[in-house]
């Protein structure tokens, strides 16, 4: 199961999900790290794995890699048992840890070659391309790399191998926005080649850019999961419109929240939130008022996230507006 597996991912896609976790439990002493977690990554899909620090993302990934043994529940990886079949399964995946620790006496280039050779598929041309795109100097000793550069080494080492599954644990921590964009491109490229991706993150915009499905976890259990559209369906869109007529009747409609109006040179500027399920009934009502301008923004994952973790995030002082500007991207 070496090169053929990577070149014909379609056949595998039909057979088994890349990751299938059901009711997974794991405790460290008195700390319950995973408490009945469910997670599925369909073959060829990019799955976002979201949660605040300490929610159990890394523990889940370590169980999937056969580094930790789960207390109970089931975990399947590429159709195999992550603990028993670890070595065989690892031929088909690449892993990027959240906090990359390299061998101080090796250069970045040597570490990349070493990891790629362990997986058995080194590719010189591909390595050169990745080094150039990530702007990484491979001749420096690993102990002199910054955090961001260590992360780049791990990313290059992961993308250099053609694999069936990429397991990425907060892979962009320490990268600047330009490099994050390069990373996003390579994830899309991997997806186009049929590779499944499990991308753990607490950065919503990153997941939103590339993921097909999202699982949100908290306290070691999944609290929400589905496609981005599925999740958005549960939420509201933000509407801004400039109209001729009096918009106040709309405030009374079912599913409309927080309506506000201001006088405008052309007419009346109205802003409100509307449940996506009610959008179909609200639109004609607005249309009837004579519309000059209209925008409706789909909710960002940030908003989904705030709904699940609102209290904790507020307590941590995380600003709610930080990624709102990117919300309409899709």
- Identify the residue among 76, 90, 236, 269 touching other proteins (CB under 8 A): 90
> Comparing C-alpha atoms, which of 247, 215, 242 is closest to residue 228?
215
Per CB under 8 A, contacts with other proteins among 251-280 are: none
Is residue 156 within the footprint of other proteins (CB under 8 A)?
no
Is residue 68 within the footprint of other proteins (CB under 8 A)?
yes
Is residue 202 within the footprint of other proteins (CB under 8 A)?
no
- Identify the residue among 117, 233, 257, 330 touching other proteins (CB under 8 A): 117
- Identify the residue among 17, 51, 52, 97 touching other proteins (CB under 8 A): 97
* Alpha carbon of residue 125 to chain centroid: 28
> Comparing C-alpha atoms, which of 200, 159, 173, 160 is closest to residue 63?
200
Name the 3-class secondary structure at 201: strand
Is residue 84 within the footprint of other proteins (CB under 8 A)?
no
Please, what is the minimum distance in Å from the beta carbon of residue 102 to other proteins?
7
Quick one: which segment of 112-120, 234-242, 287-295, 320-328 binds other proteins (CB under 8 A)?
112-120
185 Cβ neighbours under 8 A, 6+ residues apart: none
Is residue 18 within the footprint of other proteins (CB under 8 A)?
no
Bridge partners (DSSP) of residue 197 are 46, 166
Measured from the CB atom, the residue of 147 and 233 that comes closer to other proteins is 147
Is residue 166 within the footprint of other proteins (CB under 8 A)?
no
CA–CA–CA angle 310, 20, 188 (5° rounding) = 70
Is residue 294 within the footprint of other proteins (CB under 8 A)?
no
Q: How far apart are CA 268 and CA 242, in angstroms?
A: 5
Is residue 115 within the footprint of other proteins (CB under 8 A)?
yes
Q: How far apart are CA 132 and CA 121, in angstroms?
A: 20
Phi, psi of 45 (to 5 degrees): -95, 155
Per CB under 8 A, contacts with other proteins among 125-154 are: 138-141, 143-144, 154
Return contacts of 279-287, CB within 8 angstroms, 24+ apart. 279/237, 279/255, 281/253, 281/254, 281/255, 282/239, 282/250, 282/253, 282/255, 282/256, 285/249, 285/250, 285/253, 286/239, 286/241, 286/243, 286/247, 286/250
Is residue 95 within the footprint of other proteins (CB under 8 A)?
yes
- Identify the residue among 19, 39, 65, 190 touching other proteins (CB under 8 A): 65
121 Cβ neighbours under 8 A, 6+ residues apart: 2, 3, 161, 162
Is residue 66 within the footprint of other proteins (CB under 8 A)?
yes
Helices (H), the chain: 3-7, 9-15, 57-64, 86-90, 108-119, 124-133, 147-159, 177-192, 204-210, 228-233, 279-287, 301-316
Is residue 80 within the footprint of other proteins (CB under 8 A)?
no
Please, what is the minimum distance in Å from the beta carbon of residue 97 to other proteins?
6
Please, what is the minimum distance in Å from the beta carbon of residue 259 to other proteins?
49
User: Residues binding other proteins: what is the number (CB under 8 A)?
Assistant: 44
Is residue 10 within the footprint of other proteins (CB under 8 A)?
no
Per CB under 8 A, contacts with other proteins among 45-64 are: 58-59, 62
Is residue 102 within the footprint of other proteins (CB under 8 A)?
yes
Contacts to other proteins by CB under 8 A: 58-59, 62, 65-69, 86-88, 90-91, 93, 95, 97, 99-103, 105-107, 109-115, 117-120, 124, 138-141, 143-144, 154, 167
């Amino acid at each position: 199961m070496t090169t053929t597996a990577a070149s014909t991912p379609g056949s595998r896609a039909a057979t088994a999900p890349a990751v299938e976790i059901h009711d997974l439990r794991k405790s460290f002493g008195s700390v319950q790290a995973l408490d009945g977690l469910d997670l599925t990554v369909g073959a060829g899909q990019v799955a976002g794995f979201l949660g605040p620090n300490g929610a159990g993302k890394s523990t889940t990934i370590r169980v999937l890699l056969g580094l930790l043994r789960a207390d109970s529940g089931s975990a399947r990886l590429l159709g195999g048992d992550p603990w028993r079949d670890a070595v065989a399964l690892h031929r088909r995946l690449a892993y990027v840890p959240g906090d990359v620790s390299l061998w101080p006496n090796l250069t970045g280039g040597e570490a990349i070659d070493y990891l790629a050779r362990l997986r058995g598929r080194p590719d010189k041309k591909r390595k050169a391309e990745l080094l150039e795109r990530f702007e990484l100097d491979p001749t420096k000793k690993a102990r002199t790399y910054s955090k961001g550069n260590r992360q780049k080494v791990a990313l290059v080492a992961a993308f250099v191998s053609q694999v069936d599954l990429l397991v990425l644990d907060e892979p962009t921590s320490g990268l600047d926005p330009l490099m994050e964009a390069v990373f996003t491109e390579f994830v899309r490229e991997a997806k186009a080649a049929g590779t499944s991706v499990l991308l753990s993150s607490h950065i919503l915009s990153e997941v939103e850019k590339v993921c097909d499905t999202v699982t949100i976890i908290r306290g070691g259990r999944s609290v929400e999961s589905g496609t981005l559209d599925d999740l958005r369906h549960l939420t509201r869109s933000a509407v801004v419109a400039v109209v001729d007529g009096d918009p106040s009747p709309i405030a009374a409609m079912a599913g409309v929240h927080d309506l506000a109006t201001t006088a405008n040179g052309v007419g009346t500027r109205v802003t409100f939130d509307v449940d996506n399920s009610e959008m179909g009934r609200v639109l004609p009502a607005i249309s009837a008022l004579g519309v000059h301008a209209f925008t409706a923004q789909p909710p960002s994952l940030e908003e989904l996230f705030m709904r699940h973790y609102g209290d904790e995030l507020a307590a941590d002082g995380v600003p709610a507006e930080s990624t709102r500007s990117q919300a309409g991207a899709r």
